[in-house]
Protein backbone atom coordinates (compact mmCIF):
# COMPACT_ATOMS: atom_id res chain seq x y z
CA UNK A 1 0.00 0.00 0.00
CA UNK A 2 1.14 3.51 -0.76
CA UNK A 3 0.33 5.60 2.32
CA UNK A 4 -1.15 9.13 2.20
CA UNK A 5 2.28 10.80 2.18
CA UNK A 6 3.39 8.63 -0.73
CA UNK A 7 0.30 9.66 -2.69
CA UNK A 8 0.68 13.38 -1.81
CA UNK A 9 4.38 13.28 -2.70
CA UNK A 10 3.65 11.81 -6.15
CA UNK A 11 5.45 8.55 -5.46
CA UNK A 12 2.66 6.31 -6.79
CA UNK A 13 4.21 5.77 -10.22
CA UNK A 14 7.72 5.31 -8.80
CA UNK A 15 6.62 2.64 -6.32
CA UNK A 16 4.50 0.74 -8.83
CA UNK A 17 7.37 0.89 -11.34
CA UNK A 18 9.78 -0.72 -8.87
CA UNK A 19 7.50 -3.72 -8.36
CA UNK A 20 6.76 -4.01 -12.09
CA UNK A 21 10.44 -3.80 -13.05
CA UNK A 22 11.42 -6.38 -10.44
CA UNK A 23 9.19 -8.87 -12.24
CA UNK A 24 6.18 -9.12 -9.95
CA UNK A 25 2.70 -9.33 -11.38
CA UNK A 26 -0.03 -6.92 -10.40
CA UNK A 27 -3.22 -8.68 -9.28
CA UNK A 28 -5.22 -5.77 -7.84
CA UNK A 29 -4.97 -1.98 -7.60
CA UNK A 30 -7.22 0.76 -6.28
CA UNK A 31 -7.21 4.17 -4.66
CA UNK A 32 -9.21 4.33 -1.42
CA UNK A 33 -10.12 6.72 1.37
CA UNK A 34 -10.66 4.19 4.18
CA UNK A 35 -12.70 4.79 7.32
CA UNK A 36 -10.78 5.02 10.58
CA UNK A 37 -12.42 1.75 11.70
CA UNK A 38 -11.01 0.02 8.62
CA UNK A 39 -7.53 1.33 9.39
CA UNK A 40 -7.88 0.31 13.03
CA UNK A 41 -8.70 -3.21 11.87
CA UNK A 42 -5.76 -3.19 9.46
CA UNK A 43 -3.39 -2.20 12.27
CA UNK A 44 -5.22 -4.10 15.07
CA UNK A 45 -2.00 -5.82 16.19
CA UNK A 46 -0.54 -2.39 17.04
CA UNK A 47 -3.54 -1.06 18.98
CA UNK A 48 -1.64 -1.16 22.29
CA UNK A 49 1.26 0.96 21.01
CA UNK A 50 1.73 4.59 22.00
CA UNK A 51 1.97 5.64 18.36
CA UNK A 52 -1.34 3.95 17.41
CA UNK A 53 -3.57 7.06 17.49
CA UNK A 54 -1.01 9.05 15.48
CA UNK A 55 -0.68 6.18 13.02
CA UNK A 56 -4.44 6.10 12.42
CA UNK A 57 -4.51 9.93 12.04
CA UNK A 58 -1.71 9.67 9.49
CA UNK A 59 -3.32 6.84 7.55
CA UNK A 60 -6.70 8.62 7.53
CA UNK A 61 -5.17 11.92 6.36
CA UNK A 62 -5.66 11.26 2.64
CA UNK A 63 -6.18 8.63 0.00
CA UNK A 64 -4.05 5.51 -0.15
CA UNK A 65 -3.24 3.24 -3.09
CA UNK A 66 -3.80 -0.45 -2.36
CA UNK A 67 -2.15 -3.15 -4.42
CA UNK A 68 -1.71 -6.88 -4.56
CA UNK A 69 1.52 -8.10 -6.16
CA UNK A 70 2.21 -11.75 -6.89
CA UNK A 71 5.40 -13.69 -7.57
CA UNK A 72 7.91 -16.06 -6.04
CA UNK A 73 8.81 -14.90 -2.49
CA UNK A 74 7.01 -11.62 -3.12
CA UNK A 75 6.15 -11.02 0.55
CA UNK A 76 9.72 -11.41 1.78
CA UNK A 77 11.34 -9.69 -1.19
CA UNK A 78 8.70 -6.98 -1.27
CA UNK A 79 9.48 -6.11 2.35
CA UNK A 80 13.16 -5.83 1.34
CA UNK A 81 12.17 -3.45 -1.44
CA UNK A 82 10.26 -1.31 1.09
CA UNK A 83 13.20 -1.20 3.53
CA UNK A 84 13.17 -1.18 7.33
CA UNK A 85 10.23 0.31 9.24
CA UNK A 86 12.42 3.25 10.32
CA UNK A 87 13.73 5.13 7.29
CA UNK A 88 16.96 5.86 9.20
CA UNK A 89 17.57 2.09 9.28
CA UNK A 90 16.51 1.49 5.66
CA UNK A 91 19.26 0.82 3.15
CA UNK A 92 19.69 3.30 0.32
CA UNK A 93 18.09 1.81 -2.77
CA UNK A 94 14.99 0.77 -0.84
CA UNK A 95 11.78 2.78 -1.11
CA UNK A 96 11.95 4.02 2.48
CA UNK A 97 15.72 4.50 2.30
CA UNK A 98 15.37 6.63 -0.81
CA UNK A 99 12.18 8.60 -0.22
CA UNK A 100 11.50 9.32 3.44
CA UNK A 101 12.94 10.48 6.74
CA UNK A 102 10.59 9.68 9.64
CA UNK A 103 8.96 6.43 10.78
CA UNK A 104 5.57 8.15 11.02
CA UNK A 105 5.82 9.24 7.37
CA UNK A 106 7.34 6.16 5.79
CA UNK A 107 5.32 6.25 2.54
CA UNK A 108 4.45 2.56 2.15
CA UNK A 109 3.06 -0.55 3.81
CA UNK A 110 3.84 -4.17 3.01
CA UNK A 111 2.42 -7.35 4.50
CA UNK A 112 4.94 -9.00 6.81
CA UNK A 113 4.03 -12.67 6.18
CA UNK A 114 1.96 -14.71 3.76
CA UNK A 115 -0.67 -15.16 6.50
CA UNK A 116 -0.96 -11.41 7.04
CA UNK A 117 -0.98 -10.88 3.25
CA UNK A 118 -3.96 -13.23 2.92
CA UNK A 119 -5.73 -11.46 5.78
CA UNK A 120 -4.98 -7.98 4.36
CA UNK A 121 -6.02 -8.95 0.80
CA UNK A 122 -9.42 -10.04 2.17
CA UNK A 123 -9.69 -6.82 4.19
CA UNK A 124 -8.79 -4.46 1.33
CA UNK A 125 -10.09 -6.40 -1.67
CA UNK A 126 -13.25 -8.20 -0.52
CA UNK A 127 -14.34 -8.11 -4.18
CA UNK A 128 -11.38 -10.37 -5.06
CA UNK A 129 -8.29 -9.93 -7.20
CA UNK A 130 -7.58 -10.43 -10.91
CA UNK A 131 -6.26 -13.74 -12.25
CA UNK A 132 -4.27 -13.36 -15.46
CA UNK A 133 -1.34 -14.89 -17.33
CA UNK A 134 1.58 -12.54 -17.88
CA UNK A 135 3.30 -13.07 -21.24
CA UNK A 136 6.60 -12.17 -19.57
CA UNK A 137 6.44 -15.21 -17.28
CA UNK A 138 8.99 -17.32 -19.17
CA UNK A 139 11.43 -14.37 -19.18
CA UNK A 140 11.23 -14.00 -15.40
CA UNK A 141 11.01 -17.64 -14.24
CA UNK A 142 13.01 -20.65 -15.42
CA UNK A 143 9.94 -22.89 -15.07
N1 LIG B 1 5.15 3.34 13.32
C2 LIG B 1 5.33 4.53 14.00
N3 LIG B 1 6.20 4.56 15.06
C4 LIG B 1 6.88 3.45 15.47
C5 LIG B 1 6.67 2.24 14.77
C6 LIG B 1 5.80 2.22 13.71
O7 LIG B 1 4.74 5.54 13.65
O8 LIG B 1 7.67 3.55 16.42
C9 LIG B 1 4.23 3.30 12.18
C10 LIG B 1 4.99 3.26 10.85
O11 LIG B 1 4.27 4.06 9.90
C12 LIG B 1 4.92 1.80 10.49
C13 LIG B 1 3.55 1.42 11.01
O14 LIG B 1 3.42 2.13 12.23
O15 LIG B 1 5.08 1.58 9.10
C16 LIG B 1 3.32 -0.04 11.27
O17 LIG B 1 4.34 -0.51 12.12
P18 LIG B 1 5.04 -1.92 11.85
O19 LIG B 1 5.88 -2.24 13.04
O20 LIG B 1 4.03 -2.93 11.43
O21 LIG B 1 6.04 -1.57 10.65
P22 LIG B 1 5.98 -1.96 9.09
O23 LIG B 1 5.39 -3.35 8.99
O24 LIG B 1 5.17 -0.92 8.38
O25 LIG B 1 7.42 -1.92 8.63
MG1 LIG C 1 3.70 -4.13 9.82
- pLDDT tier at 1, thresholds 50, 70, 90: very high
Cα-flanking dihedrals φ and ψ of residue 69, to 5°?
-115, 140
Q: What is the pLDDT of residues 71-96, one digit of tens each?
A: 999 999 999 999 999 999 999 999 99
The DSSP code for 38 is: H
> What SS3 class is residue 32?
strand
Whether 119 is a known active-site residue: answer no
Q: Is the ipTM of this complex over 0.90?
A: yes
Residues 92-115 as b or e (16 or more Cβ within 10 Å = b): eebbbbbbbeebebbbbbbbeeee
**pLDDT tens column, 4-23:** 999 999 999 999 999 999 99
Q: Is 137 annotated as a binding residue?
A: no
Distance 42 CA to ligand 2 centre (A): 10
State the chain's maximal CA–CA distance in angstroms: 47
Structural domains for the chain: 4-124 (3.30.70.141)
3 state SS of 135:
coil
In 3D, which of 9, 3, 25 has the Cα closest to residue 82? 3
List pocket residues of ligand 1, CB cut-off 6 Å.
46, 51, 55, 85, 103-104, 106, 109, 112
DSSP character at residue 65? E
Amino acid sequence: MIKPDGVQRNLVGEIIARFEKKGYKLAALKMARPERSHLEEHYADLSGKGFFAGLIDYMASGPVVCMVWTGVNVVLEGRKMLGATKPSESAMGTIRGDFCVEVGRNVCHGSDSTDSAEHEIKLWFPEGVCEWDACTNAWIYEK
